[in-house]
Structure 1
Amino acid sequence: MVDRLTALDASFLTLEGRHTPMHVGQVLIFERPPGFDPANVVERIGARLAANPRLRQRVRSVPGRVANPVWVDDAAFDLDYHVRRSALPAPGSPAQLGEFVARVNAKLLDREHPLWEAYVVEGVADNHFAVVTKTHQAMIPELTSLDIAGLILDEESGAAGDGRWAPRPEPGSSGLLVEAIADAVRSPAGVVDTVRGGLGELRANGRRALGVGATLARAVRSSSDSPLAAEPGSARRFAMVETDLAVYREVRARLARVNADVNVNDIALAAVAGALRGWLGSRGEFVRATTSLRAVVPVTMATSAGLGGSVQPVFVDLPIGENAPRVRLLQIAHAMHSQVGDAALAADRLAELGGFSAPTLHSLGARVGSALGRRLFDLAVTNVPGPQRQLHCAAAPLIATYPVTPLAPGHALAIGLTSYRGRVFYGLNADRDALPDLEVLAAVIPDALAELLETAAA
């Protein structure tokens, strides 16, 4: 029996446009210990591919598109094609790494090959090296236990496994048609469960999360003059921001003393709101007291089975026009709690799930943005708590991890956050032409967080 893509997963191949790649990524930065050769990363990935066969499979269309595509083993799989080596020119600054990430993530993955890539980047400042990953969202459901980062990382410097593999024969066109007919006989209702059905499922999920009727009507923005509304072009900018998780916890603790209930995600959103306010000011744009930008914030809902519930979109109007940082935070916290309540999966449970991988959960969040109309929100902000323990690639300790989330059609900015080992890392992915001043927005995020700390107990 063939391994067929679900309608939902196939829809991400259909939704993908020339300038809107549907892959998610990650920037992993490692300290380079004496004698460590980053080329070992390539060997490490190759030796562990057997743990996830999907990484050696490509998408094959069914003749006539009478059924969803299937996964087939890539008999010509070439590890060196998927794991590439590069180097930054001196001094290997964060800005240079960001340019590299922007360049490789703007390019579509080649559907003639398995839908993932990794780049081992040497020459990063302070004796560091980086691994930059790209994984198509159509693959993500199959990677919930182990993705590319999972192939690289260990809690301790462990040895790689056995990389032996033999591809299964690829079915011919006639065989694919026979299987499609057999699937239709086994499940007649599945005949209409095509890619079009997957697109419908995406939109239906968004509508169910919003509710129907009046709720959906309220969600639609009446104007499209947002500074973040733009059709993405072919090029990107990427910026990285590192902050201290202890600051978020201190803001929460100070507000708890005055019976104000906020969490780390609320504080991060308030920092983004404050940064957007400063960024608009730097552009000379007039910010009214009522100015807001709507963020869609994917939230993983708790169920009795753990993560097995769903990722639901929460819409929050970030109060850019509010001058007081503390009031801004409290308004965001109220908006989040009024929609989510206690149903969100706790950060510690998310971070400690077996097989947790930040790109997997960021992808689930990115799916929410892809499912919704461009008039429903101005930017997507995904926040995935990561492990607080030290991770390694062999003997090289992981010191930072920045998510790269895709731009939805009609949107110029997407922000991803991942916490790891006492730090919170922001990855800002933007259209190159629409946000030539992305570095200004990135630079004011720490300032906005400092303002929250200063005013939390005021």
Structure 2
Amino acid sequence: MTERMTAADVSFLHRETRTSPQHVGGLALFDPPPAGFDYDRLVRLLEERITLAPRYRQKVRAVPGNVANPMWVDDPSFDITYHVRRSALPRPGTDQQLLDFCARILARRLDRSRPLWEIYLIEGLAGGRVAVVTKTHEAMVGEDGGIDLAQVILDAAPTPRRTVEAIWVPGPEPTALHLLRDAVGGIARRPVALADAARLNARDAAAVVDRVGSLVGNVASVGTALLRRPQHSPLAVSLSEHRRLAVARTRLDDYRRVRETFGGTVNDVVLAVVAGALRGWLLARAEALRPATTVRALVPVSVTDTAADTAAAAVAGDGRADADPLGADVASTGVVRPLLVDLPVGEPNPVLRLAQLRYAMASHKASGRAVGAERLTSLSGFAPPTLHALGARATGGLTRRMFSLVVTNVPGPQFPLYAAGARMTEMFPIQPLADGQALSIALSSYDRGVYFGINGDRDAVADIALLPGLVEESLAELVAAAAEPVAARAAGATGWQDTAAATRAAPGSRRRPPRGGDSPATSPSTTSSKPSRPPEDRT
């Protein structure tokens, strides 16, 4: 079986460099069943179910001369034992040893002469646990029908569902001449495809026209940002080839409690927690933060219409959190688009940070400024592959000017999952780093928990171990605020001293005390509960 790669998939291949591999990772921890969970059991499980994800037995073949997009073709020499690997930690098998190991294997690029994925079974963890680390190239997992191997091997019950290993006969690998002939035929048919796409998008023209006015302001501001000299930021660096990882564990009920008190969505609370953690990290580095300082993040959100939002809220009852554990902004269905969000890291009051983010997210949703991602993909498909490569590389070079980091969250099931009888206890997503950006934050909810995977450049973020504690501290501030009596919250921000500052100022602490202007008592923004206007000062 052969299939032409989409424009989006090709862009991921061209975006990849020696220092910025473009594969998504995952770290899952399991409690083995009494019968055990070993390498042979994992290989058998994958052999039985890999038919459900046929892309994982295909590799990429380039077209001679790059006259068309590469092809997905069956790998006639597919060897599952090459992709499923085994390792073990030395005693005592701590979490830090596991993270160091994961950082090393996730920093390495995948072999493009083979299917673009790997799975590692890691034994020797303390407490008899085992870990499974996955690496899957972003070109393998698309928006339309993309399946990850984690979906294939996991079951909702300890007893695995019955599957039968299907007989697989790889299709003949096309020759270079066949690939070239097929590409030339596709070019000849391209005018017809262009006319079909034009008709398909004509019905969207009227809807796009009435958005042009609002889009002009955004385009102008983005253009100004690109022309302006970027400010110094510890998040904008030249990447090395090595990584550091950190993970944080929080409880979903805490986010819901904050949402029920202050309104908004669970996703708003998540962003407020991330903003608070980044604030503490920047202060620990003695970065000067004014009340108006922000960090611009790229946050993928789903594009839904008002009717769909209303229906989801009606089904969920109070909230969005029951239908979507991480809020209504990220959904398992619908078109996902990137959204630029300014995280108010200069605001010392956690409640006001949340209020500003609620206001910003509500404004984005109300504006309706969205063009479906599938439309953009279909239009970009008419550009020659060479232009796709140049466009992807140019975009990668501009990211440090447009946003400082990526924050992704994905709702997961709120019940335990199993792999061959082994219960998965925790799951941490790992997002790749964009070229020139030192940090990425990914999180996922699972079985009443919210798990953060934090990926950083090894040289630029040597203090990444601070971030998990700062995430927990930032959430604890909001939970404490939600527990305050209404009268105390209405009295103002005088009781909201930055608890992170106290920790940093403690004797023997590695963190430095905050600079002037960081105290809520001296910050002008703490004298009003109204969200401030989007500031200009970005880190």
- 5+ residue gaps in structure 2? 195-211, 309-330, 370-394, 490-539
CA displacement 1:192-226 (0-9 Å, x = unmatched):
xxxxxxxxxxxxxxxx9976532423654652311
How does 1:403-418 map onto structure 2 within 5 Å?
403-418=429-444
CA displacement 1:164-188 (0-9 Å, x = unmatched):
2111111111111111121122224
Q: Distance in 1 between matches of 2:166 and 2:101?
A: 30
Considering only aligned residues, what root-mean-square deviation do their CA atoms show, in Å? 2.5
**One-letter identity of the residue aligned with 2:187:** A
Matched residue of 1:213: which SS? helix
**One-letter identity of the residue aligned with 2:164:** G
Matched residue of 2:402: which SS? coil
Closer/same/farther in 2, CA of residues 244 and 144 from structure 1, 3 Å limit: same
Closer/same/farther in 2, CA of residues 92 and 49 from structure 1, 3 Å limit: same
Deviation at 1:291, TM superposition (A): 2.0
Query: 1:314 and 2:317 equivalent?
Result: no
**One-letter identity of the residue aligned with 1:22:** Q
Q: 2:165: which partner in 1?
A: 162
Q: 1:326: which partner in 2?
A: 351
Which structure: larger Rg? 2
After superposing the two structures, state which structure 1 stretch, 277-286 or 415-424, moved more.
Answer: 277-286
Q: 1:36: which partner in 2?
A: 36
Q: Distance in 2 between matches of 1:302 and 1:125?
A: 44
Query: 1:120 and 2:146 equivalent?
Result: no
Deviation at 1:118, TM superposition (A): 0.7
CA displacement 1:66-124 (0-9 Å, x = unmatched):
11111111111111110101111122222111111111111111100001111111122
Q: Distance in 1 between matches of 2:126 and 2:59?
A: 36
Matched residue of 2:293: which SS? coil
CA displacement 1:105-153 (0-9 Å, x = unmatched):
1111110000111111112222211111111111112883531101210
Deviation at 1:287, TM superposition (A): 2.3
- Give yes or no for contact 2:301–2:336 (8 Å, CA) kept in 1: yes
How does 1:254-333 map onto structure 2 within 5 Å?
254-255=261-262, 261-302=263-304, 309-333=334-358
Deviation at 1:20, TM superposition (A): 0.6
- Give yes or no for contact 1:302–1:343 (8 Å, CA) kept in 2: no
Taking structure 1 as the reference length, what is the TM-score of the superposition?
0.85
Q: Distance in 2 between matches of 1:218 and 1:374?
A: 14
- Give yes or no for contact 1:54–1:142 (8 Å, CA) kept in 2: no
Deviation at 1:407, TM superposition (A): 0.5
**One-letter identity of the residue aligned with 1:282:** A
Q: Distance in 1 between matches of 2:283 and 2:191?
A: 58
Q: Distance in 2 between matches of 1:227 and 1:34?
A: 47
- Give yes or no for contact 1:49–1:163 (8 Å, CA) kept in 2: no
Q: Distance in 1 between matches of 2:183 and 2:449?
A: 49
How does 1:388-407 map onto structure 2 within 5 Å?
388-407=414-433
- Give yes or no for contact 2:2–2:74 (8 Å, CA) kept in 1: no
How does 1:167-186 map onto structure 2 within 5 Å?
167-186=170-189
Deviation at 1:379, TM superposition (A): 0.9
**One-letter identity of the residue aligned with 2:222:** L
Taking structure 2 as the reference length, what is the TM-score of the superposition?
0.72
Closer/same/farther in 2, CA of residues 437 and 128 from structure 1, 3 Å limit: same
Q: Distance in 1 between matches of 2:63 and 2:191?
A: 18
- Give yes or no for contact 1:13–1:138 (8 Å, CA) kept in 2: yes
Q: 1:335: which partner in 2?
A: 360
Deviation at 1:57, TM superposition (A): 0.5
Closer/same/farther in 2, CA of residues 142 and 83 from structure 1, 3 Å limit: farther
Matched residue of 2:240: which SS? coil
CA displacement 1:313-368 (0-9 Å, x = unmatched):
22221111111111111111111111124979xxxxxxxxxxxxxxxxxxxxxxxx
Matched residue of 1:438: which SS? coil
Query: 1:234 and 2:241 equivalent?
Result: yes
- Give yes or no for contact 2:3–2:72 (8 Å, CA) kept in 1: yes
**One-letter identity of the residue aligned with 1:374:** R
How does 1:16-95 map onto structure 2 within 5 Å?
16-39=16-39, 40-95=41-96
Matched residue of 1:322: which SS? coil
Matched residue of 1:250: which SS? helix
Matched residue of 2:401: which SS? coil
1:245 to 230, 252, 263: 252
Q: Distance in 1 between matches of 2:188 and 2:427?
A: 47
Q: Distance in 1 between matches of 2:21 and 2:112?
A: 12
After superposing the two structures, state which structure 1 stretch, 158-167 or 114-123, moved more.
Answer: 158-167
Deviation at 1:2, TM superposition (A): 4.1
Q: 2:327: which partner in 1?
A: none
Closer/same/farther in 2, CA of residues 146 and 223 from structure 1, 3 Å limit: closer
Aligned residue pairs, count? 414
After superposing the two structures, state which structure 1 stretch, 72-81 or 261-270, moved more.
Answer: 261-270
How does 1:4-15 map onto structure 2 within 5 Å?
4-15=4-15
**One-letter identity of the residue aligned with 1:247:** D
- Give yes or no for contact 1:47–1:164 (8 Å, CA) kept in 2: no
Q: Distance in 1 between matches of 2:302 and 2:146?
A: 17
- 5+ residue gaps in structure 1? 192-207, 256-260, 345-368
Q: Distance in 2 between matches of 1:342 and 1:142?
A: 24
Deviation at 1:18, TM superposition (A): 0.6
Q: Distance in 1 between matches of 2:215 and 2:137?
A: 26
Deviation at 1:160, TM superposition (A): 4.0
Q: Distance in 2 between matches of 1:93 and 1:11?
A: 38
After superposing the two structures, state which structure 1 stretch, 305-314 or 71-80, moved more.
Answer: 305-314
Closer/same/farther in 2, CA of residues 382 and 142 from structure 1, 3 Å limit: closer
Q: Distance in 1 between matches of 2:135 and 2:255?
A: 29
- Give yes or no for contact 1:22–1:406 (8 Å, CA) kept in 2: yes
Closer/same/farther in 2, CA of residues 222 and 292 from structure 1, 3 Å limit: farther
